[in-house]
Amino acid sequence: MEQSRLFKDVRVRQTQGVTYLHHWVNTTVDEGGFYFYPNGTEGGAEVIPPEFNTALILDGSVIVHGVDIFRPWQKPPKINSSSKTDLRYIGNDKWLVVSNNETVEEYDTTDLRISLVWR
């Protein structure tokens, strides 16, 4: 909507931040970089690797941005968008994806990329 400039008179400025909390991810192998277009979509994309203990701050309503696929070779679990789904920590660095009270997948902490996004 922001890129169309049709809503300029009602735009609410915002600050958006993304920080990466995982220390085990190899960003060269695991991929999942943050990309953005500093000169609009007519210019080229810039990619920032999701390095541990770093943060990005931007106005996400103005700067076109996204995230590349993390570990693109791994097949994600199939989850129905209308299902109640949780990621549950069960101890010993193990996590379960539970959908409608059924375990869909199990992961180790090192299988996860952890980031925090705020506005």
Amino acid at 109: T
pLDDT of residue 9: 85
Residue 48 neighbours by CB under 8 Å, 6+ apart: 33, 34, 35, 36, 56
- The SS3 call for residue 65 is strand
Amino acid at 76: P
Q: What is the pTM of this model?
A: 0.76
Condensed to tens digits (0 to 9), the pLDDT of residues 55-67 reads 999 988 888 899 9
Residue 72, pLDDT > 90, answer yes
For 70, which DSSP code? Answer: B
Residue 2 pLDDT grade (very low, low, confident, very high; cuts 50, 70, 90) = low
Contact 78, 100 (CB under 8 A): no
